[in-house]
């Protein structure tokens, strides 16, 4: 390299100066561009700059490569500054750095394009539009661009929501107030003071649902940014600031926390009483507890299943339940209507069918439903006033659980109900080593870990992986005692 450079300089003294500049440049280039290299280059003067550039070109580094390195370092430093301070000095076009209201519009447009149910659309829209409206108030009446959303702004939003009036648009004392006046109300008074004035505030559980929707909105903005094309990318650090509110010590949801069923509970359910004698009045009463015990689905998810939701994957041959909210109608009074609790535990997903359910005759039951041209698996179950509740089934299940099985709460006062199946399934497979993201996807628990884990697998592989863990669910029960569906005359006869 030395001989190559030396041969390009006819004057030994000029060559000596070039070598000295090149050595100094290499020393500075090991450090930060902004604090080391730029000051060095700016202090050289025009003549020495040309000499250094000549030496760099001979050595094989073009001017464009040097400039590219400079630009890369500048962008890297801007990114570091933004992630450390939440502020950026870069300039963006409106398209590269949209307002939060534009992001909300795009987010909801994509939800509609994905053909989500009307209930899901309304759930998201109310929460993300309120978020955009509050941020506009906090930004002096102007919808902030993504680069203007700071940690302080998001912290203020969280504080506002923790004191935000419940059903503000319909309650007599708040329905006439503007968004700015509502925000000012939350700044001036505490939760207790507002409630003392007869203004009920949103529960911490409801606030958590709002935060879930907002995190998904911000995650959407982050994922849609094309950084290579110059789009502004929202900081991960900012997204993580939207956290579920912490309940004061000693305060719960107003009900006892739910826990998983014990081994004794499961023996009482499936090795005694009606599962041994076959005294069932409805197909739903036979299948729904079994499906939940081997999949962790919610009561509503199972009650509203369509026959077409039972599918077999062509690639793997795996049978699974397609949990979705696509009922073909938006009319809640229509018996075919479907809805999911999209806030936390009702995300669409595929749940592989456990081999024990197949042994007990589940696929035979489904085939009979198909022959009868049924739309729903359990048409005998009717929806309650709430979109996600089936009150008649819930009452019968709780009566069976409490009166016949004597399953209430444990010694610590923790509640056991239908939701306990979900805790039972997730706790069992995670105890066997299942990754939390996979367990969350099986039982339908919405989490970042679930979505991030899902991204690493193809559809077929993901289904196979879940099937493997589903079929590792084992209960210490005598299944020979459990009457198979085909052996219960009344249930089979009801479908003929």
- pLDDT of 448 higher than 70: no
Per-residue pLDDT reduced to its tens digit, 215-232? 889 989 888 888 777 788
**What is the chain's mean pLDDT, rounded?**
82
pLDDT band of residue 398 (cuts 50, 70, 90) is very high
* pLDDT band of 291, cuts 50, 70, 90: very high
Task: Please spell the DSSP secondary structure of 424-452, one letter per residue.
Answer: HHHHHHHHTT--HHHHHHHHT---HHHHH
**Model pTM score:** 0.54
**Both tokens assigned to 317:** 């041959």
Helix (H) or strand (E) holding 311: strand 310-312
Give the pLDDT mean for 47-66. 64
Q: Can you give the pLDDT at residue 122?
A: 80
* Residue 88 tokens, joined: 């950026």
Backbone φ and ψ for 456, nearest 5 degrees, come out as: -85, 0
Average confidence (pLDDT) over 404-427: 83
User: CA 187, 193, 197 angle in degrees (round to 5)?
Assistant: 110
82 phi and psi, to 5 degrees?
A: -65, -45
Nearest to 90 by CA among 98, 104, 79: 79
pLDDT tens by residue, 308-338: 999 999 999 999 999 988 888 878 888 888 8
Cα–Cα distance measured from residue 99 to residue 152, given in angstroms and rounded to the nearest whole number: 17
Task: Dig out the tokens for 257 from the structure.
Answer: 């926390």
pLDDT confidence of residue 119: 63
Of 362, 424, 379, 387, whose CA–CA distance to 300 is shortest?
387
Pairwise pLDDT comparison (250 vs 352), residue with the higher score: 352
pLDDT of residue 279: 92
What pLDDT, on the 0 to 100 scale, is given for residue 222?
Answer: 87
* Residue 6 clears pLDDT 60, i.e. is over it: no
Can you list the domains of the chain with their CATH numbers? 2-85 (no CATH), 100-239 (no CATH), 263-494 (1.10.443)
Provide CB contacts within 8 A for 368, sequence distance 6+. 492, 495, 496
Rounded to the nearest 10°, the torsion over CA 69, 75, 80, 86 is 170
Confidence category of residue 79, pLDDT binned at 50, 70, 90: low
Q: Are 354 and 295 in contact (CB under 8 A)?
A: yes
Mean pLDDT over 288-304 rounds to: 95
């Amino acid at each position: 390299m030395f001989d190559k450079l030396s041969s390009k300089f006819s004057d030994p003294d000029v060559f000596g100066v070039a070598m000295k500049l090149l050595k100094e440049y290499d020393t500075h280039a090991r450090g930060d561009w902004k604090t080391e290299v730029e000051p060095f280059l700016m202090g050289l003067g025009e003549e020495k700059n040309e000499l250094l550039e000549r030496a760099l070109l001979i050595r094989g580094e073009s001017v464009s490569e040097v400039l590219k390195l400079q630009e890369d370092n500048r962008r890297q430093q801007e990114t570091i500054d933004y992630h450390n301070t939440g502020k950026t000095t870069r300039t963006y076009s409106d398209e590269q750095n949209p307002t939060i209201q534009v992001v909300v519009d795009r987010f909801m447009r994509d939800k509609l394009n994905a053909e989500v149910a009307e209930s899901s659309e309304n759930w998201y829209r109310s929460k993300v539009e309120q978020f955009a409206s509050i941020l506009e108030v906090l930004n002096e009446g102007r919808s902030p661009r993504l680069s203007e959303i700071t940690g302080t702004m998001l912290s203020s939003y969280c504080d506002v929501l923790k004191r935000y009036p419940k059903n503000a648009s319909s309650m007599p004392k708040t329905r006439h107030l503007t968004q700015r006046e509502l925000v000012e109300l939350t700044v001036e008074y505490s939760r207790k003071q507002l409630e003392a004035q007869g203004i009920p505030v949103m529960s911490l559980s409801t606030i958590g649902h709002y935060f879930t929707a907002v995190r998904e909105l911000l995650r959407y903005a982050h994922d849609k940014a094309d950084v290579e094309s110059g789009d502004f990318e929202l900081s991960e650090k900012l997204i993580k600031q939207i956290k579920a509110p912490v309940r004061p010590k000693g305060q719960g949801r107003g009900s006892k926390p739910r826990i998983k069923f014990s081994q004794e509970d499961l023996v009482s359910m499936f090795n005694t009483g009606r599962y041994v004698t076959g005294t069932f009045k409805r197909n739903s009463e036979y299948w729904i507890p079994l499906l939940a015990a081997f999949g962790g689905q919610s009561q509503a998810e199972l009650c509203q299943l369509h026959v077409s939701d039972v599918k077999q994957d062509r690639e793997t041959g795996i049978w699974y339940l397609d949990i979705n909210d696509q009922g073909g109608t938006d009319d809640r009074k229509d018996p075919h209507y479907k809805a999911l609790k999209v806030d936390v535990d009702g995300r669409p997903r595929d749940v592989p069918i456990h081999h024990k359910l197949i042994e007990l005759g589940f696929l035979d039951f489904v085939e009979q439903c198909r022959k009868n041209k049924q739309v729903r698996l359990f048409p005998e179950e009717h929806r309650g006033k709430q979109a996600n509740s089936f009150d008649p089934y819930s009452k019968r299940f709780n009566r069976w659980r409490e009166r016949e099985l004597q399953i209430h709460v444990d010694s610590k006062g923790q509640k056991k109900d239908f939701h306990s199946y979900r805790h039972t399934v997730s706790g069992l497979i995670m105890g066997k080593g299942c990754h939390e993201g996979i367990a969350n996807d099986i039982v339908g628990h919405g989490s970042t870990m679930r979505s991030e884990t899902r991204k690493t697998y193809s559809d077929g592989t993901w289904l196979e992986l879940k099937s493997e863990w589903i079929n590792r669910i084992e209960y210490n029960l005598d299944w020979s005692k459990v009457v198979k569906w085909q052996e219960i005359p009344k249930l089979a006869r009801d479908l003929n």
